[in-house]
């Protein structure tokens, strides 16, 4: 595995720690609010299609961010929403965002937090699990936390793009992606928003094997194929058809 240089501040940020940096958080939120961001134009529509309904359901969100997603799940009928967020700064933002709604925000790492047993109808997570080293342990906890026939629906950065970040040495808007070291799993250090962030690269096979070993049935696997109607320009749409940047799993207990 090739090691990339450290960030401009000489640090490698692990897990949610980068989001405790005010400059990083501000730039991240600015990116997320773009209509054509992959989160808004590709990921969220697929997630909501897979979820279909949350009516009367108790929901646990792993790495809830600002918890706007929680408000959207309440809007489609969720009975309750609990968000776990490891960044203290992001958790405070989530509490502000959801004040007065009955949403519960817990500032704790996913590794340390105990999810409980048979409590949730739906466990969800958006672009968080690739920050975790022990996905087998996480999947086992999620399985235990779900009620019978409960669902686990989550997105990750596509393993084709976490295998190597050599493409990020290029300047400008990337039209392709270098795939390298794919079967060499483990730590990856990604230059992102003027920081270097620790992630973990696992193959698609590894994710599926870990889910099956935990007891889940895999109901759907989506790679984030974009839809033309969600992009203002043909140029951006075509750019997004070139490289798969996410995997979205739908599983059932």
* DSSP label of 242: T
Cβ partners under 8 Å of residue 113, min gap 6: 84, 106
In the chain, where does DSSP find H-type helix?
22-32, 38, 44-51, 68-75, 88-97, 135-145, 159-162, 204-214, 234-240
Tell how far CA 246 is from the center of its chain: 9
Give pLDDT, residue 172: 65
Bridge pairing between strands 217-222 and 195-201: unpaired
129-166 pLDDT, tens digit per residue, is 999 999 999 999 999 999 999 999 999 999 999 999 88
State yes or no: pLDDT of 171 exceeds 90: no
Task: Please tell me which residue, 167 or 217, carries the higher pLDDT value.
Answer: 217
State yes or no: pLDDT of 2 exceeds 50: no
Residue 120: its H or E element: strand 120-126
Cβ partners under 8 Å of residue 49, min gap 6: none
Cβ partners under 8 Å of residue 85, min gap 6: 16, 63, 64, 65, 67, 91, 94, 105, 106, 107, 108
* DSSP label of 168: G
Give the mean pLDDT of 185-202.
Answer: 90
- pTM (2 d.p.): 0.92
Give the mean pLDDT of 234-247.
Answer: 93
State yes or no: pLDDT of 7 exceeds 60: no
Give pLDDT, residue 6: 42
Give pLDDT, residue 83: 97
31-87 pLDDT, tens digit per residue, is 777 878 888 899 999 999 999 999 999 999 999 999 999 999 999 999 999 999 999
Give pLDDT, residue 174: 74
Give the mean pLDDT of 95-107.
Answer: 95
Task: Please tell me which residue, 139 or 3, carries the higher pLDDT value.
Answer: 139
Give pLDDT, residue 65: 92
Cβ partners under 8 Å of residue 138, min gap 6: 62, 110, 111, 129, 132
Partners of 155 in beta bridges? 126, 248
Give pLDDT, residue 190: 86
Give pLDDT, residue 4: 43
Give pLDDT, residue 72: 95
């Amino acid at each position: 595995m090739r090691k990339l240089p450290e960030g401009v501040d000489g640090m490698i940020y692990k897990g949610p720690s980068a989001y405790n940096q005010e400059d990083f958080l501000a730039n991240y939120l600015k990116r997320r609010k773009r209509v054509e961001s992959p989160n808004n134009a590709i990921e969220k529509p697929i997630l909501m299609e897979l979820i279909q309904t949350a009516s009367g359901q108790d929901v646990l969100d792993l790495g809830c961010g600002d918890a706007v997603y929680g408000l959207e799940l309440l809007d489609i009928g969720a009975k309750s929403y609990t968000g776990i967020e490891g960044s203290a700064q992001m958790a405070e933002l989530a509490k502000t965002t959801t004040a007065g709604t009955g949403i519960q925000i817990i500032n704790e790492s996913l590794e340390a937090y105990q999810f409980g047993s048979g409590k949730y109808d739906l466990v969800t997570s958006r672009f968080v699990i690739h920050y975790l080293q022990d996905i087998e342990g996480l999947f086992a906890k999620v399985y235990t936390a779900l009620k019978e026939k409960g669902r686990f629906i989550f997105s990750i950065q596509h393993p084709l793009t976490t295998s190597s970040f050599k493409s990020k040495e290029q300047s400008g808007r990337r039209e392709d992606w270098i795939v390298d070291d794919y079967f060499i799993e483990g730590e990856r250090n990604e230059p992102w928003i003027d920081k270097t962030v620790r992630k973990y690269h696992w193959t698609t096979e590894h994710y599926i094997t870990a889910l099956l070993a935990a007891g889940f049935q895999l109901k759907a696997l989506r790679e984030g194929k974009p839809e033309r109607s969600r992009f203002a320009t043909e140029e951006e749409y075509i750019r997004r058809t070139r490289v798969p940047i996410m995997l979205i799993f739908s599983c059932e207990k």
